[in-house]
């Protein structure tokens, strides 16, 4: 389904089922379909209405070839929540999706019921900032690298050691990365936003209930960065999922789904008690 915001931006989204609404936000370069295999069915089975969207920069949403800001992505999500009339909504983000959710919690707390921040941090490391800018520059220049090189870099950067130690499993991931290696200007713009400035002080003003989920072997948003983020957000909790890297929601989906459902159900119960 497509909606058009008041500023003329087209956003693609999918709306699954009934129940308390949960909106899932993807990371850099990822389409909404990454949630379909594991998270959408698990959350639907747990009784939630699941909404997924393609962030600006990912077709069929507007590609944003002229560039955009994190404020633009936050406004897009707010517009979708209001369009679907699902406020206050539960939001689950991963990586850049968590960055969007963190900023949304600051700007529009009235739209949110609870937030799960996976593979999240309050500031990116120097290496992450340099790598994101370098990848964006490669896209801009149209640089042709040897076949398989970028998929291998992405595998090393995003997967855990158990996955990388299994050649058959790693081969499947390399094929997936290779098939998805058609990044355009919208992804370039996302890459330039994916490395966070230091936002920890700002996040001390977040009032929405938040749960930070780190992945044990995440090189992009390490456990320590997740704990730091949770310590900055008043009342936030933190949990680490073992045995996986930055793509933990795909590497260890059973553990991730249990954690999502546990937190979302607990927050739903708390809200019911408050209104009783």
Catalytic residues: 95, 218, 246
3-state secondary structure of 21: strand
Q: Compute the CA torsion angle 237, 240, 245, 249 (nearest 10 deg).
A: -70
Cα 59 from chain centre: 17
Backbone angles phi, psi at 16, to 5 degrees: -115, 115
Produce one character per residue of 230-263: b if its CB has 16 or more CB atoms within 10 Å, e if not: bebbeebebbbbeebbbbbbbbbbebbbebbbeb
Instruction: Report in angstroms the alpha-carbon separations of 57 from 68, 133, 216, 257.
Output: 9, 16, 29, 27
């Amino acid at each position: 389904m497509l909606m058009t915001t008041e500023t003329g931006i087209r956003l693609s989204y999918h709306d699954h089922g009934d129940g308390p609404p949960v909106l899932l936000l993807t990371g850099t370069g990822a389409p909404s379909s990454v949630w379909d295999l594991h998270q959408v069915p698990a959350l639907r089975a747990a009784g939630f209405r699941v909404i997924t969207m393609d962030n600006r920069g990912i077709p069929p949403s507007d590609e944003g070839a002229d560039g955009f800001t994190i404020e633009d992505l936050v406004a897009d999500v707010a517009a979708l929540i209001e369009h679907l009339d699902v406020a206050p909504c539960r939001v689950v983000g991963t990586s850049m999706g968590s960055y969007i959710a963190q900023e949304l919690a600051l700007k529009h707390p009235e739209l949110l019921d609870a937030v799960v921040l996976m593979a999240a941090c309050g500031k990116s490391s120097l290496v992450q900032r340099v790598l994101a800018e370098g990848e964006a520059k490669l896209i801009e220049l149209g640089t042709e690298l040897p076949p398989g090189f970028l998929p291998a870099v992405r595998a090393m950067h995003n997967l855990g050691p158990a996955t990388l130690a299994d050649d058959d499993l790693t081969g499947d991931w390399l094929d997936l990365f290779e098939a998805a290696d058609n990044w355009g200007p919208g992804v370039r713009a996302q890459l330039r936003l994916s490395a966070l400035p230091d936002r920890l002080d700002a996040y001390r003003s977040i009032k929405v209930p938040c749960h930070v989920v780190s992945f044990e072997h995440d090189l992009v948003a390490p456990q320590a960065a997740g704990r730091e983020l949770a310590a900055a957000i008043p009342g936030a909790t933190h949990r680490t999922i073992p045995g996986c890297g930055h793509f933990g929601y795909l590497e260890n989906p059973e553990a991730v789904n249990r954690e999502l459902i546990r937190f979302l159900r607990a927050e739903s119960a708390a809200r019911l008690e408050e209104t009783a």
